[in-house]
Structure 1
Amino acid sequence: MRINEEIHIREVRVTSAEGEQLGIMLTRDALRMAEEQHLDLVEVAPKAKPPVCRIMDFGKFRYEQQKREKEAKKKQKTISIKEVKLRPNIDEHDFNVKLKNALRFVEEGNKVKVTIMFRGRELSHPELGRVVLDRVSERLGDLVSIERGAKLEGKNMTMILSPKVQKPVKAAKPAKQEDKGGNGDAED
């Protein structure tokens, strides 16, 4: 975005800070007009014929633009991948604790990477790890979708779960009650 003396075009279409059209004029005249008002001439549409420039306080404009970008960044939800590490021969209580952590991560809107760590001879029985991963996905059920299934990577078997998007449930419309007034259809 070019401002003031950086604009090297002969003629520009000028608008005021309020958006009012001031017409097509020479750039030097537009600059003079902006200086008289103690404002800046800012090129807002360089590709237009002729380019569109606005007379405004550029510092204030930049500040408000940065403020809007900051607000948009705050509203933007970042999804991170959280990891839960398990062993193929994990006890029930330990499994439940890890499952509770995974559930908390999913409820926060994060993806969960479930890792089964094999040691020594356990690596010769990858089906044990697959059973544990199946238990995790079965217990989390409707809350998650499997983004990447069980995959053996070196001494670890991993699976990535992502939270399902919850669609708001619309309330069912109440059934219309029949009019019990005398409309002549009643049987006696």
Structure 2
Amino acid sequence: MEVLPISKQELQINEQIRDKELRVIDSDGTQLGIMPLRRAMELAEQKNLDLVKIAPQANPPVCKIIDYGKFRFEQAKREKEARKNQRVVEIKEVRLSLNIDTHDFETKRNHALRFISEGNKVKASIRFRGREMGHPELGLEIMRRFADAMSEVANVEKPAKLEGRTMLMFLAPKPAK
């Protein structure tokens, strides 16, 4: 049996409620007004339902007469549906080099375009080897060209920066208009 997650903060029910006065809402959504805790508990018991504090920060706190088990089930169902509809953005990497030729550059650009069109972010990187470390400006030029080639569909989220022997740049999809 799967245990369904409950919201971040546990709601107070029945005897856990300690407030003197409460604003009470009936199970069908009608407001019953402000009443003492004892009267609200009696109403809930008469209907064989629970008294649940749904808005503790309100003044006076708001309680609703509902079936708590059913309420928790519905809440867990809504949270599960929300998680299902979430889209996890992945970061895809495209590796360039200092002496990249035009066709290789276009191929890498096409890969990055595909990643961006799928809604993912792209990390463009250049690894400097040996004497290439003496010419970081060449790497910056290639990164600038790459950013220009992607400018129609992506924004530079993090500009090109040399970190150790690797130059990194992050691109994110442009927001839909």
**TM-score, normalised relative to structure 2:** 0.82
Q: Structure 1 pair 96/48, CA: closer, same or farther in 2 (3 Å)?
A: closer
Cα–Cα, structure 1 residues 45 and 150, in superposed 2: closer, same or farther, change >3 Å? closer
Identity, % of aligned positions:
54
Structure-2 residue corresponding to 1:100: 110
1:106 and 1:149 map into 2 onto residues whose CA distance is 17
1:49 Cα deviation after fit: 3.8
Matched residue pairs, number? Answer: 167
* Higher RCO (C-alpha under 8 Å, 6+ residues apart): 2
CA distance in 2, matches of 1:48, 1:147: 41
Seen in structure 2, the aligned counterparts of structure 1 residues 124 and 68 have a Cα distance that, compared at 3 Å, is same
Q: 1:159–1:2: structure 2 CA closer, same or farther, 3 Å change rule?
A: same
**Larger Cα Rg: Structure 1 or Structure 2?**
1
Report what 1:31 is aligned to: 41
Q: Distance in 1 between matches of 2:29 and 2:176?
A: 42
Deviation at 1:60, TM superposition (A): 1.4
**CA drift at 1:37:** 1.9
Q: Which of 131, 148, 155 does residue 145 from structure 1 map onto? A: 155
**Structure 2 stretches lacking a partner, 5+ long:** 1-10
Change (3 A) 1:50 1:132: closer
State the distance in 1 between where 2:137 and 2:35 align: 78
Q: Deviations over 1:33-72 (max 9, x none)?
A: 2223221101122233432211101121122222222333
Going from structure 1 to structure 2, the CA distance change for 1:24 and 1:130 (only over 3 Å counts) comes to closer
Which residue identity lines up with residue 154 of structure 2 in the other structure? V
Gaps of 5+ in 1: 168-188
Relative distance call for 1:90 and 1:49 in structure 2 (3 A) is: closer
SS of the residue 2:95 aligns to: strand
TM-score (norm 1): 0.78
